[in-house]
A and B are shown apart, each in its own frame.
Chain A
Amino acid sequence: MKLIFEKSVKGRRGPAVVRSDVPTSIHLDKRFLRAKDAELPELSELDTVRHFTELSRRNYGVDTNFYPLGSCTMKYNPKFAEVVASYYGFSNLHPLLPQLRMGGSLTQGALQVLHDTDLLLREITGMAAFTMQPMAGAHGELTGIMMIAAYHRAKGNKKTTLIIPDSAHGTNPASAAIAGYEVKTVPSNAEGVMDVDALRAAVDEETAGIMLTCPNTLGLFNPHVQEICDVIHEVDGLTYYDGANLNAILGKVRPGDIGFDIVHINLHKTFATPHGGGGPGAGPVGVVEKLVPFLPVSVVVKRDDGTYALEYDREQSIGYVAPFYGNFAIVLRAYAYILMLGREGLIRVAENAVLNANYIKEKLKGAFDLPHERVCKHECVFSAARQNGQDVHAIDVAKALIDAGFHPPTVYFPSIVKEAMMIEPTETESKETMDAFIEAMLDIAKRAETEPGSIKAAPVSTPVGRLDETAAARNVDVACLG
Chain B
Amino acid sequence: MPFIANTAEQRQAMLSEIGCYMADLFGDIPEAMRCKSFDLPGGMTEQAVCGHLRDLASKNSTQLTSFLGGGFYDHFIPAAVNALTGRSEFYTAYTPYQPETSQGTLQAIFEYQSMICRLVEMEVANASLYDGGTALYEAMMMALRITGRNKIVIDDTVNPIYRKMIHSYTRNLKIDLCETKNDGGMINRAAILKAMDDKTGAVILQNPNFFGCIDDFTDIAAAAHEKGVLLIVSCYPLALGILKTPGAMDADIVTGEGQSMGLPLSFGGPYLGFMATRRKYVRKMPGRVVGQTTDTQGRRGFVLTLQAREQHIRREKATSNICSNEGLCALAALVYSCLLGKQGFKEIAQCCADKASYAFKRLIAIPGVRPHFPAKWFFNEFVLDLPCDATDVIGKLIEKGIAAGFPLSRYYPGMKNSMLIAVTEKRSKQEIGMLAETLESVL
Q: A329-B269, A467-B100 are in contact. List 4 more A-B contacts (CB 8 A).
A: A1-B300, A96-B68, A320-B167, A463-B103
Contact A5–B1 (Cβ < 8 Å): no
| A to B CB contacts below 8 Å, 22 in the list | A3-B114, A5-B114, A14-B78, A37-B343, A40-B119, A43-B341, A56-B84, A67-B93, A77-B92, A89-B57, A94-B265, A96-B72, A135-B326, A173-B316, A174-B314, A176-B316, A221-B29, A257-B35, A277-B93, A320-B161, A341-B1, A351-B22
Give the docked Cα–Cα distance between A352 and B111 (Å): 39
* CB of B229 closer than 8 Å to a CB of A: no
Contact A278–B29 (Cβ < 8 Å): no
Q: Pick out which of these stretches binds chain B: A199-207, A384-392, A446-454, A471-479.
A: A471-479
Contact B311–A32 (Cβ < 8 Å): no
Contact B268–A40 (Cβ < 8 Å): no
Q: Which residues on B sit within 8 Å (CB–CB) of A433?
A: 5
Give the docked Cα–Cα distance between A158 and B105 (Å): 46
* CB of B410 closer than 8 Å to a CB of A: yes
Interface residues of B in 345-396 (CB under 8 A from A): 345-348, 350-351, 353-358, 377, 379, 391-392, 394-395
For chain B, the bracket of interface size reads 35 or more
Q: Which residues on B sit within 8 Å (CB–CB) of A42?
A: 341-343
Q: Which residues on A sit within 8 Å (CB–CB) of B44?
A: 339-340, 342
Interface residues of A in 150-185 (CB under 8 A from B): 150, 153, 169-171, 173-180, 183
What is the minimal beta-carbon distance from B432 to any residue of chain A, in angstroms?
7
User: Of A55, A72, A324, A479, which is within 8 A of B267 by CB?
Assistant: A324
Contact A92–B62 (Cβ < 8 Å): yes
Given contacts A278-B127, A427-B3, contact A464 B100 (CB under 8 A): yes
* CB of B165 closer than 8 Å to a CB of A: yes
Contact B341–A18 (Cβ < 8 Å): no
Q: Which residues on A sit within 8 Å (CB–CB) of B346?
A: 37-38
Q: Pick out which of these stretches binds chain B: A79-87, A231-239, A284-292.
A: A79-87
Q: Which residues on A sit within 8 Å (CB–CB) of B294?
A: 467-468, 471
Given contacts A49-B83, A69-B94, contact A61 B89 (CB under 8 A): yes
Give the docked Cα–Cα distance between A102 and B400 (Å): 11
Give the 4 A-B CB pairs with smallest separation, nearest first. Answer: A324-B268, A89-B57, A342-B43, A276-B328
Interface residues of B in 113-134 (CB under 8 A from A): 113-119, 121, 123-125, 127-128, 130-134
Interface residues of A in 30-66 (CB under 8 A from B): 31-35, 37-43, 45, 48-49, 51-53, 55-65
Q: Which residues on A sit within 8 Å (CB–CB) of B350?
A: 20, 25
Q: Which residues on A sit within 8 Å (CB–CB) of B377?
A: 28-29, 32
Give the docked Cα–Cα distance between A473 and B113 (Å): 16
Q: Which residues on A sit within 8 Å (CB–CB) of B33?
A: 223, 225-226, 253, 257-258
Contact A402–B100 (Cβ < 8 Å): yes
* CB of B220 closer than 8 Å to a CB of A: no
Contact A31–B49 (Cβ < 8 Å): no
Q: Which residues on A sit within 8 Å (CB–CB) of B90?
A: 55-56, 59, 61, 276-277
Given contacts A323-B131, A340-B2, contact A113 B297 (CB under 8 A): no
Q: Which residues on A sit within 8 Å (CB–CB) of B54?
A: 87, 89
What is the minimal beta-carbon distance from A105 to any residue of chain B, in angstroms?
8
Q: Which residues on A sit within 8 Å (CB–CB) of B141?
A: 178
User: Of A25, A40, A146, which is within 8 A of B168 by CB?
Assistant: A146
Q: Which residues on B sit within 8 Å (CB–CB) of A18?
A: 76, 347-348, 351, 425-426
* CB of B152 closer than 8 Å to a CB of A: no
What string of 1s and 0s marks CB contacts (under 8 Å) between B161-175 and chain A? 110110111011100
Interface residues of B in 306-331 (CB under 8 A from A): 306-308, 310-318, 320-329, 331
Give the docked Cα–Cα distance between A355 and B59 (Å): 42
Interface residues of B in 35-54 (CB under 8 A from A): 35-46, 49-50, 52-54
Q: Which residues on B sit within 8 Å (CB–CB) of A272?
A: 3
Contact A107–B128 (Cβ < 8 Å): no
* CB of A398 closer than 8 Å to a CB of B: yes
* CB of A417 closer than 8 Å to a CB of B: no
* CB of B10 closer than 8 Å to a CB of A: yes
What string of 1s and 0s marks CB contacts (under 8 Å) between B422-436 and chain A? 000110110010000
Given contacts A56-B90, A251-B35, A336-B49, contact A120 B40 (CB under 8 A): yes
Give the nearest-CB partner of A463 in chain B. B103
Give the nearest-CB partner of A344 in chain B. B43
User: Of A49, A465, A468, A478, which is within 8 A of B113 by CB?
Assistant: A478
* Size of A's binding interface in residues, CB under 8 A: 208
Contact B13–A63 (Cβ < 8 Å): no
Give the docked Cα–Cα distance between A135 and B303 (Å): 25
Give the docked Cα–Cα distance between A403 and B280 (Å): 39
Contact A479–B114 (Cβ < 8 Å): yes
What is the minimal beta-carbon distance from B434 to any residue of chain A, in angstroms?
14
Contact A76–B3 (Cβ < 8 Å): yes
Q: Which residues on B sit within 8 Å (CB–CB) of A428?
A: 3-5
Contact A38–B105 (Cβ < 8 Å): no
What is the minimal beta-carbon distance from B274 to any residue of chain A, in angstroms?
12
Given contacts A113-B56, A278-B94, A325-B268, contact A45 B339 (CB under 8 A): yes
Q: Which residues on B sit within 8 Å (CB–CB) of A135?
A: 130-131, 134, 269-270, 326
Give the nearest-CB partner of B43 in chain A. A342
Give the docked Cα–Cα distance between A31 and B244 (Å): 8
Interface residues of A in 343-378 (CB under 8 A from B): 343-349, 351-352, 354-356, 358-359, 362-363, 374-375
User: Of B61, B243, B288, B313, which is within 8 A of A34 by CB?
Assistant: B243
* CB of B24 closer than 8 Å to a CB of A: yes
* CB of B443 closer than 8 Å to a CB of A: no
Give the docked Cα–Cα distance between A352 and B216 (Å): 59
* CB of A296 closer than 8 Å to a CB of B: yes
What string of 1s and 0s marks CB contacts (under 8 Å) between A74-117 and chain B? 11111010111111111111111101111100111110110000
Give the docked Cα–Cα distance between A221 and B293 (Å): 41
Give the docked Cα–Cα distance between A80 and B46 (Å): 7
User: Of B34, B267, B341, which is within 8 A of A110 by CB?
Assistant: B267
Q: Which residues on B sit within 8 Å (CB–CB) of A407?
A: 98, 101
Give the nearest-CB partner of A341 in chain B. B43
Contact A52–B269 (Cβ < 8 Å): no
* CB of A322 closer than 8 Å to a CB of B: yes
Give the docked Cα–Cα distance between A327 and B134 (Å): 13
Q: Which residues on A sit within 8 Å (CB–CB) of B195?
A: none
Contact B62–A89 (Cβ < 8 Å): yes
